[in-house]
Structure 1
Amino acid sequence: MKRILITGGAGFIGSHLCERLLKEGNEVICLDNYFTGAKKNIVHLLDNPYFELVRHDITMPYFIEVDEIYNLACPASPVHYQYNPIKTIKTSVMGAINMLGLAKRVKAKILQASTSEVYGDPEIHPQPEYYWGNVNPIGPRSCYDEGKRCAETLFMDYHIQNKVNIKIVRIFNTYGPNMNPNDGRVVSNFIVQALSGEDLTIFGDGTQTRSFQYVDDLVEGMIRMMHTPDEFIGPVNLGNQNEFTMLELAENIIDLTGSSSGIIFKSLPKDDPKQRQPDTTKAKANLNNWEPKIQLREGLARTIEYFQATLLTNGRQKIRINA
């Protein structure tokens, strides 16, 4: 049994990681300040004697004895990370310093949940890990993009200078149960609009692309990355290589929900990437042939069921899912 600390453990991805690591027989300490995380995501774990929930902000130091650290704490959707951009970059930078300092003191292995946003609006497609990116350092998304880039720098410097055992993964668009319906991400936006009978809002002309990975596939990749040999530190892209336009995503969700919603178009936000697709060659080669197993329509059906069951059933008729 390992003692594992997960920062941002009550968030969308963190809650799934907590559950998975508990099932594997570990002791899990979930750290969250609930800025975007929610206690409801992990309340079903509270009866487990090997699960501990701590309310804490990682911009402040935290002291504990652990074997592994997964550093996920940071708002990840534009609506949330732009709400308080200074707080966002402090979470990425000061949070990384505090967690790396903890890992150094207790000799814990630490994994940084970085992001595909480090590539910005990419000029190389798909994006390999060696690509340095095309990021606006003073734009509306910079607090998140540059905060995560700086966190990667800190991880590398702590590894080189202080011999901290690090791992870095770059997470591409991920979706699934426990998403916040108001987080502003495209999958949750479209599902909520479809289930509510509202028109789906596409920003831009709908030709911009993303790749979408189901959360279970991401969690599997993160755990495999943590278990790689010490000399392999990454960064490694974790995402689904299947690329879809925003229009294709909207049409899939309308079809799966059986909704009568239409589609409306609005202007594209500043610095919004036109393409986003991971090159996962490195992940397949180093993570025991890891690749996403759950494809888009199956994952969307599961996610729609979650929103129906937990968020949108009050006073609304259930919609049949055309899986």
Structure 2
Amino acid sequence: MRVLITGGAGFIGSHLAEACLEKGDEVYIIDDLSTGSLANIEPLRNSKRFKNRLFVHIDTILNHDLMEELTGICDIVFHLAAAVGVRYILDNPLKSIKINVQGTEEILEICTKFKKRVLIASSSEVYGKHLHAPLVETDNIIYGPSSKFRWSYAASKLMDEFTALAYYRTKGLQVVITRLFNTVGPRQTGAYGMVIPRFVTQALKNKPLTIYGDGTQSRTFTFVKDVVSALMGLMECEEAAGEVFNVGGTQEITILELAKKIIKAADSSSGYQLIPYEQAFARDFEDMQRRVPSIEKIRKAIGFEPQVNLDEILQQVIDYQKSIINRQLTINN
């Protein structure tokens, strides 16, 4: 099978590309490297096993002619390309909205033209400021004011969902929507506000872990390979077309508890520091106090269950970040 992955040089996209290659597929990647990195896919490009089955295009999904060419070649499309990370969204609000909304509509239109099944990666952010748990796919949406650009990402991803469902209902496009909850693992960077790689890097350097807010906000975390398994399973599930699915973990933890757990797991002498949101993000920021998914729907659809628990996730990230730090030390010496 020929698979197109937009955002394929990103954290999740590179793991998905690897899994598809392992399965024997031909994989076509398009990525503008705004948040992705060639380093994520370099081992795949250099692998003799995957020779002549991986094709990489460094370009924007807004390149209509290229997207038509790639979509026409491929059998299915995983649309993961998006502006991601709270800090990136706040620093690049206009670009983020354009990529997330215009880019997704472009993908949907082209997939409709070629009658190609497509999976749209949405986000748990679409739920907004709910305090209850677990969050169910049919829950109402609660956002802050438009003056808070933090919500522009959530609104843009919700617009993607509306547009995708409209294509399904009016044009029969076979589209699956996934709401991803805090995916974590090797290759993820803390540069755009991702909390676990940021905490782990600080802990390994014995620096204070910087906690934004009071640390009582809670999250669940999902190992990236579990997420990839879910995406591939949903793409193969005929009944998933026209539906929205949460993809996430089930172990809820506060950010303060997470920091303490990482310090212990990394055998670090770090402490932690509470930083008010207005100092960390300057303006336009509000946080989601609680983000815990119900996974009943995806469990019934494809039998999805997270296989890697939080302690194992943290160890994987710690080992990966240690290898990055050691590599940098070797280069500098």
Please give the TM-score of this superposition, normalised by the length of structure 1. 0.94
Deviations 1:162-212 (CA, angstroms, capped at 9, x unpaired): 111100000001110111242221111101111111100111221110001
Tell me the CA shift for residue 232 of structure 1: 3.9
Percent identity over paired residues = 34
Matched, 1:299 2:313: yes
Number of matched residues? 314
Greater CA drift, 289-298 or 40-49: 40-49
Give runs of aligned pairs for residues 81-160 of structure 1, distance below 5 A. Answer: 81-138=89-146, 139-160=148-169
State the partner residue of 2:58: 55
Structure with the higher helix share, 1 or 2: 2
2:293 to 260, 269, 278: 278
Deviations 1:135-178 (CA, angstroms, capped at 9, x unpaired): 12511212211110000011011111111110000000111011
Confirm or deny: 8 A CA contact 1:59 1:90 kept in the other structure.
no
Matched, 1:210 2:219: yes
Corresponding letter in the other structure for 1:107: K
Distance 1:76 1:10, change over 3 A: same
Say which SS state the counterpart of residue 329 (structure 2) adopts: coil
Corresponding letter in the other structure for 2:11: F
In 1, the alpha carbon distance for the partners of 2:325 and 2:243 equals 37
Tell me the CA shift for residue 40 of structure 1: 0.6
Confirm or deny: 8 A CA contact 1:167 1:225 kept in the other structure.
yes
Confirm or deny: 8 A CA contact 1:123 1:134 kept in the other structure.
no
Greater CA drift, 137-146 or 47-56: 137-146
Tell me the CA shift for residue 123 of structure 1: 3.9
1:76 to 67, 84, 102: 84
Matched, 1:17 2:22: no
Structure 2: tracts of 5 or more residues without a match = 279-284
Tell me the CA shift for residue 79 of structure 1: 1.4
Corresponding letter in the other structure for 2:93: P
Distance 1:311 1:137, change over 3 A: farther
1:200 to 209, 214, 228: 209
Please give the TM-score of this superposition, normalised by the length of structure 2. 0.91
Corresponding letter in the other structure for 1:51: L
Greater CA drift, 202-211 or 8-17: 202-211
Deviations 1:26-60 (CA, angstroms, capped at 9, x unpaired): 11101100000000100112242110000111133
Tell me the CA shift for residue 133 of structure 1: 1.8
Give runs of aligned pairs for residues 217-256 of structure 1, distance below 5 A. Answer: 217-230=226-239, 232-256=241-265
State the partner residue of 1:30: 29
